Amino acid sequence: MLFVEANGAKIPAIGLGTWELRGRTCARIVEQALRLGYRHIDTAQMYDNEREVGEGLRAAGVKRDQVFLTTKVWPSHFAPHDLERSAKESLVRLRLTEVDLLLLHWPNPQVPLVETLGALSRVRQQGLARHIGVSNFTVALIEEAVAACPEPLVCDQVEYHPYLDQTKVKEACARHGMALVAYSPVVRGRIKSDRALQRIGDRYRKTAAQICLRWLVQQGVAAIPRTSRLERLSENIEIFDFELSDEDMQEISAMGSAAGRLTDFGFAPKWD
C-alpha cells in the first residue's frame, strides 16, 4: 500500500470512506476492508458511526499501529472547550486512546479560526490525535489556517474526482506540505459508466473506477472511496500494479470543471 507523506504524516493512499454507512453494515465493511489490506479508515462525528467503525477495527484484529484512523469534529463544536470535549467523546465511541488524524469537518465563520486551531493543536499535544488537518477548506481558508495554526496541518480533505477541477486547492496544499485527501473520488459510483475512462481501462485491463483512483494516487493524492459492497472494496485497492501514461493522466485531468461538484450544502463556504 502506497503512502502519501505530508508534514510528518504517512497517509495510506487508499482508504475507506464511511459517510452514510451505518450500524452492522458499517462495522462489517470496515472489518472486511481491513482484512483485504486497507489501512486507512475515515469517519466523522457527524457520520454517527464512530462506534461501528471501532467495532469493525476490533473485529478485524489488525494491530492498532497498522491502521490510520481519521475522524472529524463538526463545526458546532469549534469553540475551544467544546472541541476538546467533542474529540474525547469521539475517542470514547471509537474505544481508542488516540486517532491518527483529527480534522475540522467544515469551516465555521462564527468561531475565530485561530481559536479553533489553537484548541485542535492542544488536543494533539495531549496525545488524543497524532496529526491534525482540515476538510472542505478553500484556498483562502487554507492560507488563513496555515498562518493561524501553531503547528503544521497535514491535509485538506475535499471532494475531488475527474469531473471537479481542484488544481488550486491541490497547489495550495503542496505549497504548505499538506496532502489533498479526496472524498467522493469515484463520483458516488457514477464514474463506472464513464465511456472515456472505460476506454482507457480496456487498455490496462482495469475498470473505470480503478483508472479514476489510479489517476488520483498517481498525482500524490490520497483517496477514500466509500462502498458497502465487498466486490467494490477489492476493486478499489487493486490499483497498485499499473501506471497510467502521461497522455492518459492529462486526458483525465482535462475532464474537470468547477461545475462537477456534488457536495454543496447551504453551509459550505463560497468555493474559489
Which residues are the active-site residues? 47
* Pairing state between β 9-12 and 3-6: antiparallel
Q: Output 68 or 183, the one with its CB closest to ligand 1BO.
A: 183
121 secondary structure, DSSP code: H
Q: Output 135 or 219, the one with its CB closest to ligand 1BO.
A: 135
In 3-state terms, what secondary structure has residue 213? helix
**Residue for grid cell 473520488:** 185
Q: Output 25 or 198, the one with its CB closest to ligand 1BO.
A: 25
Q: Which residues bind ligand 1BO (CB under 6 A)?
A: 19, 44, 46, 183, 263
Q: How far is the CB of 243 from ligand 1BO (least distance, A)?
A: 30
176 assigned ligand-binding residue: no
Contact yes or no for 213/239 (Cβ under 8 A): yes
Q: How far is the CB of 74 from ligand 1BO (least distance, A)?
A: 9
Residue nearest to ligand 1BO (CB): 19
Nearest to 15 by CA among 223, 178, 210: 223
In 3-state terms, what secondary structure has residue 70? strand
Q: How far is the CB of 204 from ligand 1BO (least distance, A)?
A: 30
Q: Output 137 or 183, the one with its CB closest to ligand 1BO.
A: 183
Q: Residue by residue, what is the 3-state secondary structure of 136-198?
A: CCCHHHHHHHHHHCCCCCCEEEEECECCECCHHHHHHHHHCCCEEEEECCCHHHHHHHCHHHH
Q: How far is the CB of 81 from ligand 1BO (least distance, A)?
A: 24
CA 81/CA 252 separation, integer angstroms: 44
| CB within 8 Å of 231: residues ≥ 6 apart | none
**Residue for grid cell 501514461:** 245
**Binding residue positions for substrate:** 105
Residues making up the annotated binding site are 105
